Structure 1
Amino acid sequence: MLGFSIYLDTEIDGRTENYIKNMSQNGFTGVFTSVHIPEDDDSKYVERLKSLGEICANQNLELTVDIDYQGLKNLGCSVNDAGKLTQFGISALRLDDGFTNSEIAILSHQLAIALNASTISESDVHELTVQNANFDHMEAWHNYYPRPETGLDAAWFAKKNAWLKEQHFSVMAFVSGDTNFRGPVYRGLPTLEVQRNMNPLVATNELDKNFEVDKAFVGDPQISNQLMKQFESFYQHNEIRLRIKTTYPQIFDQVWHNRPEVARDVVRLVESRQQNQKTSVNIRPEQMNVRKIGTITIDNLNYGRYEGEIQICKRALEASKKVNVIGQVNQTDIVLLPLIGENTAIKFIPYEEDSQ
């Protein structure tokens, strides 16, 4: 599950609604917000939360609200009647540590509950079991960490998640955004410190593949349109969008695919040699330069039956009289190359047209 964050320190206006709709259309299915942020003015958040809940309900988005006792009270609820919050489009509550296990058990029979993944212990699980909590309604959500150097340690995180999985919890974690970082620190909102400055798509994939995370949410309040499209392409179509500059404009005419067997050094576009064979045009040797990471090449006639094969370099390679350099992946997108696996689709985008 992919999610994103909307905060209540600003109005939920038409621009916010359009952003939410765009994220929904690009494959995001969850929204996180908080009514428990000390820096915020809480005098307006109740009406803003209701507006947000209505938009999420209309877009079939699951809305999870970080909340404490006072926030629950401000919404006109108690532990015993929190279920009525679903009327406002709220799907789940992410509980502050101030709630007792007895109260969590009561809440778990009314709506979905997100527990603090970092602090829940074996004794908590035992107490919740004794209190007859509904574990089908409970997940384990990690925090985000605004201050640099305070994000979680990756080894500890992996160990904690393995234990949470043994307890049959779904696990959620945050990644940073790529634009409009949240104050007051403006340094990203990741769960893992090592991911603070990492490309959010790469970070999300890493959480899934290496850390047993089931849900990844962007912690910051906005991502760029370009990143939004990259998320949609990768998770909905197994496609990587790469912004490039090239002297070979026909590379933009179609979607390409990596071969089913993954090479160590290069991405091999499976359709390229077949197309060259159809045209019967000899590719003369030229621009036989050193190949940096992200260099796009085409094999010339000196490579015999490989002539016409287009590749993307995943590591630096020396120049070859058999290989012409025809382009370069934009520096910020090179980090996406390791995400290209077997049969992954690749869409090249002219850098000038998609640079926002």
Structure 2
Amino acid sequence: MENGISIYPGLDNTPEENLALIEKAAACGFRRLFTSLHIPETNTAALKRELSELLKAARQHDMEVISDISPATMELLGIKEFSPQAFRMLGITTLRLDYGFGLEEIVRLSRNKQGIRIQLNASTITGKLLSALVEMDANFHQIDALHNFYPRRGTGISEEFLVRKTMMLHKLGIRTGAFVPSQHRRRGPLHDGLPTMEEHRDEPSELAARHLIALGIDSVFLADSLPADEELAAIGSLAGDQVTLRAKLLTHDPIQRELLTHTFTARADEARDCIRAEESRALLKKQHGIIAPENTLVRPVGAITIDNQGYQRYMGELQIIRHPQTADTRVNVPAMVEESEVNLLQYITPGRKFSFRFDT
């Protein structure tokens, strides 16, 4: 999964802070950088001074540079004629087309020979536009999409809207990204965070990112100016196309603790009361381990359970409880999903990968 950071030369951060952010992000595994070249509050003189150095640093770390582009951008950058080659020479590798680009121009740009990728606005895309791109034989191998972020409180999109637009794009094989805000230092002028989804505005960035991944988003971008080191580390380590749940360990047993470190697949034959891991019993057999009875507690929603030796051939069966169940001496409760994460259980559908993240 290739996640990204965002940098806005000529706005909040000093050039030194922006360069340091690129260094830290690259060390955390980030491979994409988003920037916008037409924010009204930007100091354009500072932007022109800082941009080339930032693009150079991104190239040194082999980062894809995505730039929000409008026709006015050419004047700002001193580009006489709009062409992919001109942006490639600057170090911009993906053009996010904003207002002012017609259908024919999008199709033409998608066929460029310079390897420049074209990025659609996932939040404003329509079925009509996508159908037209198909009919006009656009090159979808060079197209992806990215949702908007929303600086003004109350204007972010809903989960239902994000999922609907993303599914439209995925049907054509278009990978789609979205933004989460930082809770550390927020970009001006409003300083209210830059989320795609409104419900993420005041949530921890890692939880918001894992929610987006659970919803099918392919790439998560930290939108704000200067995220905390902890936010970079957490989002940089996220794996794609799986639901990751933060949980609390309740056992010191090394056999159960080792089992809980794996990535699991939700069984295709979905149970009414729980999410069943497909691989857990086989993994235990490979360990040649024995699960002794321990913490055979009442099982509330979010309890992570492992069947002990009392359940005979079911020993090692790992479940996440979706409907409360009474205590059973044959079932251990070695961990609990954090209460704030229980909402993510609904996205662990049959065949979906899931894993746990434990605070140490």
Same fold (TM over 0.5): yes
What's the CA shift for 1:201?
1.9
Q: 1:143 aligns with which of 132, 141, 148?
A: 148
Amino acid at match of 2:14: E
Separation in 2, partners of 1:273, 1:84: 57
**Whole-Å Cα distance in 2 between the matches of residues 88 and 22 of structure 1?**
24
Matched, 1:244 2:252: no
Instruction: Give the TM-score normalised by structure 1.
Output: 0.72
Percentage identity across aligned positions? 27
Q: 2:299 aligns with which of 278, 291, 295?
A: 291
Question: What CA distance in whole angstroms lies between the structure 2 residues aligned with 1:164 and 1:279?
Answer: 45
Residue from 94, 97, 103 that aligns with 2:96: 94
SS at match of 2:240: helix
Aligned position for 2:22: 17
The alignment status of 1:2 with 2:6, answered yes or no, reads no
- Say whether residues 1:190 and 2:195 are aligned partners: yes
Taking the aligned partners of 2:109 and 2:49, their CA distance within structure 1 comes to 23
Match of 1:258 in 2: 264
Provide the C-alpha distance between the structure 2 equivalents of 1:103 and 1:275, rounded to a whole number of angstroms.
Answer: 57
Task: With the length of structure 2 as denominator, give the TM-score of the two structures.
Answer: 0.71
Check the 8 A contact 1:53/1:90 in 2, yes or no.
yes
RMSD: 4.3
Would the aligned equivalents of 2:209 and 2:235 in 1 still touch at CA under 8 Å? no
The yes-or-no answer on 1:206 pairing with 2:212 is no
- 3-state SS, counterpart of residue 33 of structure 2: strand
> In terms of mean alpha carbon deviation, does 103-112 or 259-268 score higher?
103-112
Structure 2 unmatched runs, 5+: none
**Which runs of 5 or more structure 1 residues have no equivalent in the other structure?**
209-213
Return the alpha-carbon distance in structure 2 between the equivalents of residues 142 and 177 of structure 1: 13
1:35-74 CA-to-partner distances (Å, cap 9, x unmatched) read: 2222333321223322221122222222111134444222
List aligned pairs for 1:1-356, cutoff 5 A: 2-4=2-4, 5-8=6-9, 9=11, 10-13=13-16, 14-23=19-28, 25=29, 28-80=30-82, 83-98=85-100, 109=112, 111-119=116-124, 122=128, 139-153=144-158, 170=174, 172-177=176-181, 179-180=183-184, 181-193=186-198, 196=201, 197=203, 199-208=208-217, 216-221=220-225, 222=227, 225=230, 228-229=233-234, 232-235=237-240, 240=244, 242-250=246-254, 251-253=256-258, 255-258=261-264, 261=267, 264=271, 265-268=274-277, 269-271=280-282, 274=285, 278=288, 283-284=292-293, 287-300=295-308, 302-307=310-315, 309-335=317-343, 337=345, 342=351, 344=353, 346=355, 349=358, 351=359, 353=360
CA contact (8 A) 2:182 2:223 kept: no
Give the total of aligned pairs: 337
* Aligned partners of 2:7 and 2:34 also within 8 Å: yes
Counterparts of 1:81 and 1:252, CA distance in 2: 55
